[in-house]
Chain A
Amino acid sequence: MEAPGFVIGNIAKGKDLWDRENEIASLWNALEKSSVLLKAPRRFGKSSIMYRLYENPQPDCTVFFHDTEGMKSPEDFITGIMANALVDSRFKKLFKNTTKWIKNIFKLVEEVDVADIRIKIREGMKGNWQEKGLELISTLKGIDGKIIFILDELPMLVQNIERKHAPQTAVDFLQWFRGVRQMPEMENIRWVVGGSIGIEHILERIKAGTKTINDFHILSVGAFSMEDGTAYVRALLKNEGQLSRIQPAIIEKMLDVVGAPVPYFLQILAYESLNEMRRLKQRTLNKEIIDRAYYEKVLGPASRTYFEHYFTRLKDYYDEHCEHVAKRLILEVARKEKVDKTHLFKLFRQTCKGKLTDETFGHLMTDIENDFYVSYSVKTKTYSFTTNVLRDWWLRYYDLVEE
């Protein structure tokens, strides 16, 4: 495999996307049967994996990639995805037997650029986005082969619609979108929806119910295996650090520090370690440099933002009391590293002081687990932090806060 480089924040394309073959294969497999909801916290590499489908589509598949976070209405959504499809030369024949307004748009394709098309689509949908949007998307049904629309950050779009318009508009959109996916004649169209913020929480808030998304096959993006993590760090250091010889102990140390080998954190640690090495005018890495890079840079005040949302979003999800209990339980897991489930339950009772039912404990822990704070080991019946970085961060910044 070719050596990857640092790509911080942006999509890792080409060789920079390291070893996600399994996830990509699972995605293609799942797409054979249904649309897919790809879940992962921010910076776990979701967008890059989805982008790979766009970069390297399977034969007979046409893939469109859209970042929907900037869209704020159903009209934006329909315009965004259809404008790009319309200018694709392969689709031109589709528009010959359709309604007048779509034919007009199609005429534009011959004459002018995509900017005009977007405006025309928007004008054509005015006042009736459900019907007109469906009409427009339905033109794609006659295409040979599959069309895959990748929609990155769809939960953000739903949230934008809720905020800019009304919760009911967001519900209408979700129901309409489900209808589009369910149309038998649209079997050739698949959707890959990515989202880093908990879509379930948004659905609950706008009272849309999970049925609006229950046709999606859900896939999660997790960390690398230790083996892949090791190979990734080695390749990264070799390429970006120009290090000819890297001690296995150094790579072990990096993986040990980060815990679950999430590529983003491995990358950040490697980046900061190499910077530190150069700053100290050293020619190779050692454990002290890695520790320094980890504690002073990765976990340092300058990088506090990596995890701040893990702490602050609890406020959005729960009422004040529940938020307090959740934070206390998370803190306990951080402090103890591994916590027995029964111990945590006792602490739950003690902290909630009878204000929450015992059943809430189960829901709370499931939420916390689903949101990638902690992982549960069935074997040992213990909870531990999903990543060391998050645990160390929690202890550094919030150890004293929620007693």
Chain B
Amino acid sequence: MRFYKYTPALLDPKTLEDTLIGRDLELDNIKRILKSASSGKSFSHPIVIGPKGIGKSHILRIIYHAVNGEIKTKGLNVFKDKFIPVIFSEEEYPGNLTKFIKLIINYLSESDSHVIPQVPEELMKAVTLNAKEREIALDYIRTFRKKSGKILLLLVDNLNDILERFTSEDQSALRDLLMTCDSLLLIGAAPTLFDSIINHDRPLYNFFEIVWLKDLPFDETILLLNRYAELGQRKDLLEKFKKEEAKLRAIHELAGGNPRLILSLYHIILEGDITSVEDTFLKLLDELSPYFRERMKDLSEQQKEIIDIMARAEGLLTPTEIAGRCHVSVNIVLSQIKRLEKVGYLKIAKKHAKKVFYDFNERLFSLWRQMRVEAGRKRLGFVVKFLEMWFTKEELKNQFKDLLREIRQSIYEGDWDKVDGHLNKLWYVKEAMPEIKAKTDGLIRKFNKIKQNVNKMVVYLQSRFKIDHEDVPILSESLITIISGMALSENTNDNTLLWQAIDKAVKINMKAKNESIFFNIIGILLEMRVKDKDFQGIKFFLDEVNSVNQGELLEFLSPFSTLIKYLETKDPEIIDRLRHEERIIVEDMIKMVEGGTTKNIKNSKLKRAETKTKSGRV
């Protein structure tokens, strides 16, 4: 679905507009600035500030497309003929002002707009700008409006990353450019206030107009969810949203009004797609790690401890509760919390009677910290909470059953990545259903054990039969298929999957050059079925082999056919009529069935292999 993206740059203008909820105030402020700039009045340069996932890139993209006249959001398209918008891609981090300017020139050079003043040739050719070219570039920007009648509108996401790399001189030169030149309007975005704009000693101190992007309020969270459902033409969900206000409120609390989190929760609602949501978030949190780690560096040990305690907590805490958990006085905690509030980490979430509950300002930060605090647990507690809130017990039970089925199927297919994905999902579902927790933990252990055993067996069989290099892929696939199926059958007393697996393996194996190895493996596996006295299974399998017209294999497996015949009739003549070599094999198996030992099986296997080699059938 088209809005299934976390990267606004990948969305088309219409979708961006359709999924923009709220932000009227913020866009009004931007509009005011665009209006002032375009009508020759004084204007501020704004920076949109808000935590990750709050929609900064979304807003910048909206401005870009609206000023380009592609959409009409908030009537920003009226500025179509007044500005030439240039948007930096998120990965562009010019390390100094010269590179910054060069980047602008590059964007303009590539533009096919006819109204852009001719970019001087030496600038277009230059890979980097020398002192002279920088002066020429600066003059080009300064005179842009005079020459074109338009203002260059720069939209720069992660402006903090760019400005923090600039030297003070570069920052001053930029300030000078922005302050005295009416050809340029810069709209930046950053996840938080940063040193270059808040440090009194820096040239750009308090220079920008801060446009705060706040969490969405509850009514806008509902609007956003409804909008997704509308766009996906999911009438059922629209109906459900109408009826489930309490649940929606819980989702809102959980996502903290962060649009990116809301979107990810919507994915789970829509498809139960826990794994992909989790993957995306873990990836996102990993990407954010350097940024959050940098932020943590500024904190004292005590402040870090407070943050960790809050991240680990099951809900919101009061300063008294935090003090109790970190064993220091409430006054100390209070003073540290005040400081954390001041630097933007925490906020007062709610006041109830005399109690004040604190929460993280950035929901993603708390998730990141939670992951780090709970060592080794790379899972997201908020997904569990969401499942508990949103799905009924019955729905969760159904998901549970579906998952078990899918796990079995994936094991049979030998697709261990899929198995891992399903097991991961199963973890979330069982966490959300405490009553099945113990049972599911057992199942998860069992599936993991199967996986381990199967892997071991595959390695063993491959090494024992010294499979030719070119046969490895085919044989491996058939081996995994059979062994997986067998492993599953062992645990469920249901052989269907095993036989399906063998059937599939037989078909795969027809492509292999060295079929003797495969025959031997089948033999070993069938012996193991004999040990388990799964005669029905063996019979079924032989019928299957017969049905897929594998005459040679059937002949190779004739001792098993004889065994079955004998066990069904108990007629000793069946054994007597056998040739010597085959009789020994069958007798060994009969001994195994009627009280045989491991030793017997081993001997029997060896004998059989030797005998068959001698008999020239292989």
Q: With A and B bound together, what is the CA distance between A381 and B168 in angstroms? A: 43
Pick from B28, B172, B212: contact of A302, CB below 8 A: B212
Note all chain A residues with C-beta closer than 8 A to B193.
302, 305
B317 within 8 A of A: no
The answer to whether A14 touches B344 (Cβ under 8 A) is: no
Q: Mark B334-360, 1 if CB is under 8 A from A, else 0.
A: 010000011110000000000000000
Q: With A and B bound together, what is the CA distance between A326 and B277 in angstroms? A: 55
Note all chain B residues with C-beta closer than 8 A to A304.
198, 342-343
Known contacts A114-B139, A302-B193, A7 near B176 by CB under 8 Å: no
The answer to whether A6 touches B209 (Cβ under 8 A) is: yes
Q: How distant is A205 from chain B, measured CB to nearest CB, in Å?
A: 14
Q: How distant is B193 from chain A, measured CB to nearest CB, in Å?
A: 6
The answer to whether B42 touches A113 (Cβ under 8 A) is: no
Known contacts A67-B180, A69-B176, A301-B341, A9 near B206 by CB under 8 Å: yes
Interface of B is mostly: helix
Note all chain A residues with C-beta closer than 8 A to B169.
70, 72, 160
The answer to whether A10 touches B344 (Cβ under 8 A) is: no
Q: With A and B bound together, what is the CA distance between A71 and B139 in angstroms? A: 17
Pick from B43, B203, B206: contact of A70, CB below 8 A: B203
The answer to whether A10 touches B42 (Cβ under 8 A) is: yes
Q: With A and B bound together, what is the CA distance between A67 and B179 in angstroms? A: 9
Note all chain A residues with C-beta closer than 8 A to B179.
10-11, 47, 67
Q: How distant is A266 from chain B, measured CB to nearest CB, in Å?
A: 15
Q: With A and B bound together, what is the CA distance between A82 and B132 in angstroms? A: 17
Residue of B nearest to A316 (CB): B201
Q: How distant is A261 from chain B, measured CB to nearest CB, in Å?
A: 19
Pick from A9, A118, A302: contact of B207, CB below 8 A: A9
Note all chain B residues with C-beta closer than 8 A to A302.
49, 193, 210, 212, 344
Within 8 A of A (CB), among B123-178: 131-132, 135-136, 138-139, 168-169, 171-173, 175-176, 178
The answer to whether A67 touches B172 (Cβ under 8 A) is: yes
Within 8 A of A (CB), among B207-257: 207-210, 212
Q: Mark B580-615, 1 if CB is under 8 A from A, else 0.
A: 000000000000000000000000000000000000
The answer to whether A6 touches B44 (Cβ under 8 A) is: yes
Q: Mark A105-121, 1 if CB is under 8 A from B, else 0.
A: 00000000111101100
Note all chain B residues with C-beta closer than 8 A to A8.
44, 208-210
Note all chain A residues with C-beta closer than 8 A to B29.
275
Q: By CB atoms of chain A within 10 A, which of B42, B45, B198 has the most?
A: B42
B445 within 8 A of A: no
Note all chain B residues with C-beta closer than 8 A to A6.
32, 44, 209
Q: How distant is A6 from chain B, measured CB to nearest CB, in Å?
A: 7
Q: With A and B bound together, what is the CA distance between A191 and B193 in angstroms? A: 36
Pick from B132, B168, B335: contact of A160, CB below 8 A: B168
The answer to whether B42 touches A11 (Cβ under 8 A) is: yes
The answer to whether B44 touches A7 (Cβ under 8 A) is: yes
A12 within 8 A of B: yes
B200 within 8 A of A: yes
Q: Mark A294-320, 1 if CB is under 8 A from B, else 0.
A: 000000011111101100110000000
Q: How distant is A41 from chain B, measured CB to nearest CB, in Å?
A: 10
Q: With A and B bound together, what is the CA distance between A9 and B175 in angstroms? A: 10
Q: With A and B bound together, what is the CA distance between A65 and B32 in angstroms? A: 27
Note all chain A residues with C-beta closer than 8 A to B466.
none
Note all chain A residues with C-beta closer than 8 A to B201.
309
The answer to whether B175 touches A67 (Cβ under 8 A) is: yes
Note all chain B residues with C-beta closer than 8 A to A65.
180
A156 within 8 A of B: yes
Within 8 A of B (CB), among A267-285: 275, 278-279
A42 within 8 A of B: yes
Note all chain A residues with C-beta closer than 8 A to B172.
67, 69-71, 156, 160
The answer to whether B209 touches A119 (Cβ under 8 A) is: no
Q: Mark A41-67, 1 if CB is under 8 A from B, else 0.
A: 011000100000000000000000101
Within 8 A of B (CB), among A6-28: 6-17
Within 8 A of A (CB), among B1-60: 24-25, 28-29, 32, 36, 40-45, 49
Q: With A and B bound together, what is the CA distance between A11 and B180 in angstroms? A: 8
Known contacts A70-B169, A70-B172, A70-B173, A312 near B200 by CB under 8 Å: yes
Within 8 A of A (CB), among B55-108: none
The answer to whether B41 touches A13 (Cβ under 8 A) is: yes
Q: With A and B bound together, what is the CA distance between A72 and B168 in angstroms? A: 10
Known contacts A67-B175, A160-B169, A9 near B25 by CB under 8 Å: no
Residue of B nearest to A9 (CB): B207
Pick from B43, B200, B335: contact of A313, CB below 8 A: B200
Q: Mark A121-153, 1 if CB is under 8 A from B, else 0.
A: 000000000000000000000000000000000
Note all chain B residues with C-beta closer than 8 A to A279.
25
Q: By CB atoms of chain A within 10 A, which of B36, B179, B203, B208 has the most?
A: B179
Q: Mark A358-369, 1 if CB is under 8 A from B, else 0.
A: 000000000000
A240 within 8 A of B: yes
Note all chain B residues with C-beta closer than 8 A to A15.
41
Note all chain B residues with C-beta closer than 8 A to A275.
25, 29
A1 within 8 A of B: no
Q: How distant is A220 from chain B, measured CB to nearest CB, in Å?
A: 19
Q: With A and B bound together, what is the CA distance between A348 and B368 in angstroms? A: 48
A91 within 8 A of B: no
Q: How distant is B306 from chain A, measured CB to nearest CB, in Å?
A: 16
Known contacts A70-B173, A72-B169, A240-B32, A9 near B135 by CB under 8 Å: no
B205 within 8 A of A: yes
Q: With A and B bound together, what is the CA distance between A13 and B36 in angstroms? A: 11
Pick from A14, A115, A160: contact of B138, CB below 8 A: A115
The answer to whether B36 touches A5 (Cβ under 8 A) is: yes
Note all chain A residues with C-beta closer than 8 A to B207.
9-10
The answer to whether B132 touches A16 (Cβ under 8 A) is: no
The answer to whether B209 touches A9 (Cβ under 8 A) is: yes
A249 within 8 A of B: no
Q: How distant is B360 from chain A, measured CB to nearest CB, in Å?
A: 13
Q: By CB atoms of chain A within 10 A, which of B135, B171, B200, B208 has the most?
A: B200
Q: How distant is B361 from chain A, measured CB to nearest CB, in Å?
A: 9
Q: By CB atoms of chain B within 10 A, which of A14, A72, A302, A400 has the most?
A: A302
Known contacts A9-B44, A119-B131, A119-B135, A306 near B342 by CB under 8 Å: no
The answer to whether B210 touches A14 (Cβ under 8 A) is: no
Note all chain B residues with C-beta closer than 8 A to A305.
193, 197-200, 205-206
Q: With A and B bound together, what is the CA distance between A219 and B207 in angstroms? A: 24
Q: How distant is B491 from chain A, measured CB to nearest CB, in Å?
A: 57
Q: With A and B bound together, what is the CA distance between A174 and B223 in angstroms? A: 62
Q: How distant is A141 from chain B, measured CB to nearest CB, in Å?
A: 26
Q: How distant is A237 from chain B, measured CB to nearest CB, in Å?
A: 14
The answer to whether A118 touches B135 (Cβ under 8 A) is: yes
Residue of A nearest to B24 (CB): A278
Q: With A and B bound together, what is the CA distance between A313 and B201 in angstroms? A: 9
Note all chain B residues with C-beta closer than 8 A to A306.
206
The answer to whether A5 touches B45 (Cβ under 8 A) is: no
Note all chain B residues with C-beta closer than 8 A to A7.
36, 42-44
The answer to whether A42 touches B200 (Cβ under 8 A) is: yes
Known contacts A70-B203, A160-B168, A5 near B42 by CB under 8 Å: yes
Note all chain B residues with C-beta closer than 8 A to A114.
135, 139
Q: How distant is B18 from chain A, measured CB to nearest CB, in Å?
A: 23
Note all chain B residues with C-beta closer than 8 A to A115.
132, 135-136, 138-139
Known contacts A5-B41, A8-B44, A10-B45, A301 near B342 by CB under 8 Å: yes
Q: Return the 7 tightest CB-CB contacts between A and B, nearest first.
A: A309-B200, A70-B172, A115-B135, A305-B198, A8-B209, A16-B42, A13-B42
Q: What are 18 contact pairs spanning A and B, CB under 8 A? A: A5-B32, A5-B42, A9-B45, A9-B209, A10-B178, A14-B42, A42-B200, A67-B176, A69-B203, A70-B171, A70-B173, A70-B203, A71-B172, A115-B139, A275-B25, A302-B210, A304-B343, A305-B200
11 extra A-B contacts, CB within 8 A, seeds A5-B42, A115-B136, A304-B343: A5-B41, A7-B36, A16-B42, A42-B205, A119-B131, A275-B25, A302-B49, A303-B210, A305-B200, A309-B201, A312-B200
